Structure 1
Amino acid sequence: MKKHILTSKYLWLLLSLLSIVACNEPDDVLADYNVLPAAPEELPALTAGSANFSKYVAIGATFTAGFTDGALFKASQQNSFPSILAGEFAKAGGGSFTQPMMNDNFGGLALAGTRIQDPRLVFGGAGPVSLESIIGPVTVTTDIALNNPTGPFNNLGVPGAKSYHLFYNGFGNIANLPSAANPYFVRMTGATPNASVMDLAMAQNPTFFTLSEIGGNDVLGYATSGGTGVDQTGNSDPSTYGNNDITDPTVFASVLNNEVALLTSGGAKGLITNVPYITDLPHFTTVPYNPIPLDGATADFLNSASAYGAYNAGVQQALAYLVSVNAITQQIADAELAKRTIHFEASETNAVVIMDEDLIDLTAINPALISMRQATEDDLFVLPAASFIGTEAVPNNPQTVNGVAIPLADKWVLTPEEQAAIKTATDAYNSTIEGIASSNASVGLVDLKGILSQLASTGYAYGDYILTADLVTGGAVSLDGIHLTARGYALMAGAFLDAIDANFGSNFAASGNIPDASMYGTNYSPTLQ
């Protein structure tokens, strides 16, 4: 075998080279070749501008509270947009920020040991499911009769609150449950159970405020109940907590103007948000109008005279009668017949049958001709309909399938007419909101409507992510299809900071003091307790 011997001469040369390299830092070597590393960008120091964050108070509803996945819980509150904002404000003179923390990460509420609100939703592999379906029964430990936290609270976000509820005395009094009080606000009032949200806010002498999503719940209850103006208990009093009617825009305008006037009366500055088109949310866009699979034999039966064939013939006869007595025109009759004719086929995509109160009432002519039709792509279905459509009203009786043999009740669907009512009210609310912001130098506007519209259409670039309004996969909207994920709330906080920069001369964005998207997740684990 031939040996390779390193002579002393070459050994000395190698050691010399190693000593030279060892004495050089990477930057020195790069400099020798005229390549210098890029200098880190020097950002300006943070300034608050004309804003004073020493006493920040957040007033609002579910988004302000941090509601996520159908519930409020500790982790969701820590990731609420006001909490994220307060963390940034602390770098610019902001004070402490106290929230009415829940007792656990299950979510839900109890009243003297009896559950009154269910725990949060989690991802079950195919879609949203209840937490307890994954981990088994849990005990809800946040009990509004036993263990409420002590205020005052900087976060006065009250899930379910409408615009006019913020001035209600007794809205947080446990004695007024369930019709005239809010269980989440009961946790905030402490020794002053009849104090209003605005009372608690002003008692803290805020220097800066956010008044967010006011107006959202003024249409949301109507929307989630399928356009029914009365809640499930039959409550139709517009002054009470459970009422689902759309708030009159005139009432809304008066209330909001009074709220902003009060909040700014001591010199505080703040931000308000406009109201998004809530029908862009996945709670209303996820369930298809045509999810019914049928074979040929079943479709033929449904179309026969013993099923919907008789209904179709009766509608045609009733409309012909109304034309003959000049009650309606032939053109109206033709359009109504086209809407109401029910027809199925051998297909995976048959449209469901729904009740529609905006159809011509024909029951005076024939009581069997109830106001029903097949849905179209213009109808929107509430998310819970996904687990109801296709079930049997009478177990083991395929002739009682909901959405096929039995039309879906009004609470499951938003018809175009109901959607138009929501949009009309939302536009009126936004006119008021934008007028307040444009006429008051102490108030800036956050375009929450624009953010949701972009999430629902093209998607919204945030950090390294493209967020959309798709359920589960979009990253912005939580499993209840209405409220935001932690990342969605961080996006919202960033929009607030941009608005503060634009309106009050701060430089949160330019100084790099904005929420990092990668620090906020989109899904809470079922094991989070």
Structure 2
Amino acid sequence: MNSTMKNIKYVLLSAILIGFTACSDDDSNDVVIVPVPELNTGELDLSTYVAVGGSFTAGYSDNALFKAAQEKSFPKILSEQFAQGGGGDFTQPLANDNFGGLAVAGNRILDPRLVFGGAGPVAIESLIGPKTVSTDIAINNPTGPFNNLGVPGAKSFHFLAPGYGSLANFPVAANPYFVRMTGTTPNASVLELAMAQNPTFFTLSEIGGNDVLGYALSGGESDTNAPNYNPITPNAVFEGAFAALVNGLTVNGAKGAVTNVPYITSLPHFTTVPHNPLDPTNPDFGPQIPMLNSIFGAINQIYDGVGQPNRKVVFSESAASAVVIRDETLTDISAQITGALMASPTFPAFIAQFGLPAQAAPLVANLLGSTYGQSRQATSEDLLVLKSSSIIGTVNTDSVAFLMGQGLSQQLAGQFSIEGITLPLVDKWVVLPSEQEEIKEATDAYNATIQSVADAKGLALVDFKDILQKAATQGVSDGDFIFTTALVRGGLVGLDGVHLTSRGYAVMANKFLEAIDAKYGSNFIEAQVKADVGTYPTNYSPTFQ
């Protein structure tokens, strides 16, 4: 029992009781007083709470880590509730300002936060001008130890890695956010820093999230030489890392709560941009549709000829059209396209409409073959990442330079370099169905491990997967609010489409409390010792400092 809570709180529920009595014909209104019990922490010792996890644990929001959002991280919110049941101080490695971003010795390595620009997310500096990133991992790191060991970007095995917080290892083998936490022990692992505090209670959250998120954010990039290559962590690696983390955190008998991994492709980063964003009423697109359909018409005949009608590209003059994408799972028929075009007696006349001589036929045939050998229009099964919205319909300058180097004029090179229209969107902009299945299979395997370990160790389990699925379909309620995963207006997910708003973190904290109550016999929710989600913001003004 929490001895500090001596006053019983009450909730007043009004009930109208209509009845007839011998002494009065008047209707009567009775007030039913339902007492709220004192907080009972059950079998918990909350004196030293340590949070280990990724960006959600850190309070990352709107594509940055900044002070105000950190102060409303879900572990911080939890610690405030725990304080009413004997919890101690809770320290965090706070950023230096509310703009966000990181620097190393004065050189910016990560940009400040996103803000709402009226129509959607924009960089804060686009509205208020340039800002100096004042949080510098080389010169002004805070002093620990820290109860919040949330490390944005960390994968499961990173939490065990020595030197992951050493500036000397940056940028190859160190995380800049963790560099801010290690202090005089730069080679200590995240787990070692957590265990050094001898926690009596811990949360272990988002372990496994970054193990699939990086792959999804890259559009499922499979080219090992690509700069954004970020493969899914093998389940055996994840399983060993998760077990080691839990074993370390519970070595002295600490109790705790863990989360499973959601299907991250349900996040608005992957669901906001439609597969068919090309509007025929757009003056930059609509008038070009007849010419585009003429160009693709010649290639569509070849698709039919090789038995691949599902690859045909047709733009509608009356409805929204799907973008053109490169699908690496398709058989590459570049050679067949080139050969068919070269064999066509009408091809020289076809290219003449672009001002090209007949002698250019081999060049153009090869370019069309290589461009559309693995292309198709997107379907509703494809997921376009959030950032694709800013490049669809724009001219790819690298493609222009390449085509000009092949002998095309700048004007013609530009016409064949329009992202998602004449230039198929490459892998980094699209998560294909096959890639989504890879993510789902890995997530399911991780969650089986998490469930097994949590059961074996007697830990509370927060079903974050179920919470996110409900938010994406029917909404999740807390207090007077219903939260969805809709970008900007849903209230749960911030402007980067991946991380939660501060209000979303308050919802997450309450979900932790529900799971803790169910597992350990406490009554935080019943005693109304929980976050009042309405008091937490969903966004921060561009001028907020």
Which aligned pairs between 1:234-313 and structure 2 lie closer than 5 A? 234=227, 244-294=230-280, 298-304=288-294, 307-313=295-301
* Aligned with residue 82 of structure 2, among 89, 105, 112: 89
Question: Where does structure 1 lack aligned partners over 5 or more consecutive residues?
Answer: 1-31, 236-242, 320-332
Q: What does residue 149 of structure 2 align with?
A: 156
**Do the aligned residues in 2 keep the contact of 1:225 with 1:231 (CA within 8 Å)?**
no
Distance verdict in 2 for CA 1:494–1:466, change over 3 Å:
same
Q: Say whether 1:146 aligns with 2:139.
A: yes
* Aligned with residue 112 of structure 1, among 93, 105, 114: 105
Q: What is the CA distance between 1:187 and its match in structure 2? A: 0.2
Distance verdict in 2 for CA 1:58–1:232, change over 3 Å:
farther
Q: What does residue 340 of structure 1 align with?
A: 311
Bigger shift: residues 398-407 or 422-431:
398-407
SS state at 2:514 partner:
helix
* Aligned with residue 488 of structure 1, among 504, 517, 529: 504
SS state at 2:36 partner:
coil
Bigger shift: residues 499-508 or 36-45:
36-45
Give me the whole-angstrom Cα distance separating, in 2, the residues matched to 1:464 and 1:509.
15
TM-score (norm 2): 0.83
**Do the aligned residues in 2 keep the contact of 1:72 with 1:102 (CA within 8 Å)?**
yes
**Do the aligned residues in 1 keep the contact of 2:256 with 2:460 (CA within 8 Å)?**
yes
Q: What is the CA distance between 1:401 and its match in structure 2? A: 1.8
Distance verdict in 2 for CA 1:204–1:417, change over 3 Å:
same
CA offsets 1:213-268 (integer angstroms, 9 cap, x no match):
11110000000110014688637xxxxxxx61001111111111111111111100
Q: Say whether 1:387 aligns with 2:377.
A: no
**Do the aligned residues in 2 keep the contact of 1:50 with 1:504 (CA within 8 Å)?**
yes
SS state at 1:67 partner:
coil
Q: What is the CA distance between 1:35 and its match in structure 2? A: 6.0
**Identity %, equivalent residues:** 56
Give me the whole-angstrom Cα distance separating, in 1, the residues matched to 2:187 and 2:248.
19
Letter in 1 for 2:289: A
Letter in 1 for 2:195: M
Give me the whole-angstrom Cα distance separating, in 2, the residues matched to 1:86 and 1:297.
59
SS state at 1:347 partner:
coil
Give me the whole-angstrom Cα distance separating, in 1, the residues matched to 2:82 and 2:44.
10
Distance verdict in 2 for CA 1:187–1:363, change over 3 Å:
same
SS state at 2:279 partner:
strand
**Do the aligned residues in 1 keep the contact of 2:73 with 2:505 (CA within 8 Å)?**
yes
Q: Say whether 1:463 aligns with 2:482.
A: no
**Do the aligned residues in 2 keep the contact of 1:229 with 1:246 (CA within 8 Å)?**
no
Q: What does residue 19 of structure 1 align with?
A: none
Q: Say whether 1:373 aligns with 2:344.
A: no
Q: What is the CA distance between 1:72 and its match in structure 2? A: 0.5
Which aligned pairs between 1:39-438 and structure 2 lie closer than 5 A? 40-229=33-222, 234=227, 244-294=230-280, 298-304=288-294, 307-317=295-305, 319=306, 333=307, 337-365=308-336, 366=338, 368=369, 369-394=372-397, 397-438=414-455
Letter in 2 for 1:259: L
Larger radius of gyration: 1
Q: What does residue 525 of structure 2 align with?
A: 509
Letter in 2 for 1:95: G
Q: What is the CA distance between 1:70 and its match in structure 2? A: 0.4
Give me the whole-angstrom Cα distance separating, in 1, the residues matched to 2:142 and 2:312.
58
Q: What is the CA distance between 1:41 and its match in structure 2? A: 3.1
Give me the whole-angstrom Cα distance separating, in 1, the residues matched to 2:518 and 2:497.
31
Give me the whole-angstrom Cα distance separating, in 2, the residues matched to 1:102 and 1:219.
27
Aligned residues: 471
Q: What is the CA distance between 1:362 and its match in structure 2? A: 2.0
Q: What is the CA distance between 1:133 and its match in structure 2? A: 1.1
**Do the aligned residues in 2 keep the contact of 1:230 with 1:244 (CA within 8 Å)?**
no
**Do the aligned residues in 1 keep the contact of 2:300 with 2:309 (CA within 8 Å)?**
no
**Do the aligned residues in 1 keep the contact of 2:99 with 2:112 (CA within 8 Å)?**
yes
SS state at 1:350 partner:
coil
SS state at 2:51 partner:
strand
SS state at 2:94 partner:
coil
CA offsets 1:338-361 (integer angstroms, 9 cap, x no match):
321111221341110000000012
TM-score (norm 1): 0.86
CA offsets 1:414-435 (integer angstroms, 9 cap, x no match):
1111111111111111111111
Letter in 2 for 1:352: V
CA offsets 1:488-527 (integer angstroms, 9 cap, x no match):
1000000100111010111101111011111111111111
Give me the whole-angstrom Cα distance separating, in 2, the residues matched to 1:45 and 1:36.
28
Q: What is the CA distance between 1:34 and its match in structure 2? A: 9.4
Q: What is the CA distance between 1:165 and its match in structure 2? A: 0.4
Q: What is the CA distance between 1:37 and its match in structure 2? A: 6.8
Q: What is the CA distance between 1:182 and its match in structure 2? A: 0.4
